[in-house]
Amino acid sequence: MTPAEVLLWSQLKGKQTGYKFRRQHGIGEYIVDFYCPDLRLVIELDGNVHGTPEAEAYDQRRSEYLASVGLQVIRFANTDVFNNLEGVLEAIRNACKK
């Protein structure tokens, strides 16, 4: 896991949000960063490599596939996890309520 994934996982594991999350979970041909099966919620963290046109196109295809199988996908930049962890957690808690 990347340092941002380690930090976010420390806040998600053990049902700290009230829901069980899995890390590095396979869905179809993709491996998502974090997945809550009860909510059908995927959380993805994006580092520097996600800023290229090729990576953005890949991420778009991936998100479209995940949505097509009924999953909600929320994305955060690694920098958001490091600089605004509470804001990221609040966004995740809000997504869990929907």
Query: Both tokens of residue 91?
Result: 């966004």
Domain count, the chain: 1
Domain around 33? 3-97
Q: What is the pLDDT of residue 50?
A: 61
CATH number of the domain enclosing 12: 3.40.960.10
C-alpha dihedral (59, 30, 34, 36), degrees to nearest 10? 110
pLDDT tens for 21-76 read 999 999 999 999 999 999 999 999 988 766 678 888 888 899 999 999 999 999 99
Kindly report the pTM of this predicted structure.
0.91
The Cα angle at residue 42 between residues 38 and 43, in degrees rounded to 5: 125
Q: Which two tokens stand for residue 80?
A: 């958001």
| The two structure tokens encoding residue 63 | 């998100």
Can you name the residues that pair with 45 across neighbouring β-strands? 76
pLDDT at 5 over 70: yes
CB 37 within 8 A of CB 20: yes
